[in-house]
Structure 1
Amino acid sequence: MGDAQRRFGGLAADSHGTGDSRPPLVLVHGLTYDRRQWGPVLRELAAIDPDRQVLALDLPGHGESALRESYQVGDVADAIHEAVTEAGLDRPVMVGHSIGGALVTIYAARHPTRGVVNVDQPLLLGPFGDLLRRSEPVLRSPDYLQLWNSLLAGMGIDQLPPAAQELVRTATTPRQDLLLGYWNEILVTADEAFIAQRVRELDRIRSLGIPYHYVAGSEPSPRYRQWLESVLPDVTIDVLPGAGHFPHLADPAALARMIAGVGTGASGVR
């Protein structure tokens, strides 16, 4: 898979492969990480889907992409679209991990998309939203890393292969401005309004017939599964047991196989 380091729409990116009849893929990493997290998946894609056109981006403020004054998620989704447009990609399959899963969901509700793969990002806040709001004073203090490290402790990093553990622990920049910026919607929005916005986005995705795949590292709770299937009756839910919060690193071959086939049929084309 040939590749080149470039910038599109002001975002740093690695561009792989060439355009053909296969829908291009756009890979969006999680909060505090960067496009290096997709290395294992890219290697698997090169083996099973050679020369597929793939764009792996650094989110605003991450990796080699410039900082921004605001990281409102809708604005970030639009910034991703600027990069996709400048790269010349037509209706890509959007793949996102963690907060990237939320961003590609928002993206698909706003911009032409062939399919969505959400890697371990629940779209209901649940206890996480309560925790962030309770912890906001700490998050805004010099001790903000206490909160970040406590979250990492519950992400199943020790379940990953050694090389993947090293990637998670070293290829990250947990800056306070990123945590506050990308989590701002959670901090300032009531649960009811937050859920209503996600439902509107999923309704839009459903009405357009865009295939939506949710890939989890553990079995979703019955409540969350029921909610997601009620909003998106055609959703595909795949579980990679024992993958923790990083299914793309625990089993990159499995994820590569999943995303390689998304959006290749007639559904989801608009």
Structure 2
Amino acid sequence: MGDAQRRYGGLAADSLGTDGDRPPLVLLHGLTYDRSQWGPTLGALATLDPDRRVLALDLPGHGGSPARDAYGARDVTDVIHEAVTDAGLDRPVMVGHSLGGAMATIYAARYPSRGVVNVDQPLTLGPFGGFLRRNEPVLRSPEYLRVWGSLLDGMGIDGLPPAAQELVRTATTPRQDLLLGYWNDILVTTDEAFTEQRRRDLERIRSLGIPYHYVTGRDPSPAYRAWLESALPDVTVDVLPGGGGHFPHLADPAALARIIAGIGTDSAGAR
């Protein structure tokens, strides 16, 4: 699969493959990372589904993409849509890890899409919202990396293969402006309002018949699974056998590639 590093809608990107009868894929990485995190998945996909059209983007402020004054979810998904449009993609399958999973979900609720693959991004805040708000003074101080480090400790990085561990630990830029910017929606919104907005996004996706996969390396809690299925009864929950904590796409990229290759290849989700 050939590739070319380009810019679409102002965002740095790897543009792979050629247009064909299979829906194109758009890959969105997690907070503080960049499109290089998709390398193992793209390698597996190249074997499974050669020459599939793929656009792997650096989110605003990440990798080679320019910073912005604000990183609200609607603004960021608008920029992503500019890149999708500039690349000439028609109703892509949106694939995102962590923050990227949230952006893929919000994108599909707002713009034409043929599927969503959300890799380990719960759409309710749970304890996370309270944790961020309690630590907001630290996040705004020179000690902000203490907050980021405490989150990394719970992501299961030590269970990844050595090369994947290296990628997670080195290909990251935990800048203060990114953490505060992308988490601002959480800091200024109540848990109830935040969760209700995500529910509306899922109900919109349901109404459009867009296939939705929630991919994780560990079984979701019964409470979260019940919430997810109440908003989106047809959701597919994929627990990858390789585990990988918060990074199942790096623990078992071949399994994720199989999921991605299969979603959105029929008429479901066309609009």
TM-score normalised to structure 2 length = 0.99
1-structure distance, mates of 2:191, 2:157: 29
1:53 maps to amino acid:
R
1:186-224 deviations in whole A, cap 9, x for unaligned?
Answer: 000011111111111111000000000000111100000
Counterpart secondary structure, 1:237: strand
Query: Does 1:87 find its partner at 2:87?
Result: yes
Matched with 1:207 is 207
SS in 1 for 2:209: coil
CA separation in 1, counterparts of 2:221 and 2:117? 19
Single out whichever of 239-248 and 213-222 deviates more from structure 2. 239-248
Name the residue aligned to 1:198. Answer: 198
Q: Measure the CA separation in 2 of the matches of 1:108 and 1:254.
A: 23
1:71-150 correspondence to structure 2 within 5 Å: 71-150=71-150
How many residue pairs get aligned? The number is 270
Provide the C-alpha distance between the structure 1 equivalents of 2:7 and 2:168, rounded to a whole number of angstroms.
24
Residue 24 of structure 1 aligns with an amino acid whose one-letter code is P
CA offsets 1:88-111 (integer angstroms, 9 cap, x no match): 000000000000000000000000
| 1:1-270 alignment runs, 5 A limit | 1-241=1-241, 242-270=243-271
Equivalent position amino acid for 2:48 in 1:
I
Unmatched 5+ stretches in structure 2: none
Tell me, what secondary structure is at the counterpart of 1:5? strand
Identity, in percent, stands at: 78
CA distance in 2, matches of 1:98, 1:145: 19
Q: Distance in 2 between matches of 1:236 and 1:265?
A: 16
SS of the residue 2:228 aligns to: helix
> Quick one: which amino acid aligns to residue 47 of structure 1?
T
Cα distance in 2, alignment partners of residues 229 and 29 from structure 1: 25
The root-mean-square deviation of aligned C-alpha atoms, in Å, is 0.5
Q: Distance in 1 between matches of 2:165 and 2:195?
A: 33
Q: Specify the SS of the correspondent of 1:213.
A: strand
TM-score, structure 1 as length reference: 0.99
Runs of 4+ in structure 1 displaced over 2 angstroms?
none
* CA distance, structure 2, for counterparts of residue 142 and residue 232 of structure 1: 41
Which amino acid counterpart does residue 269 of structure 1 have in structure 2?
Answer: A
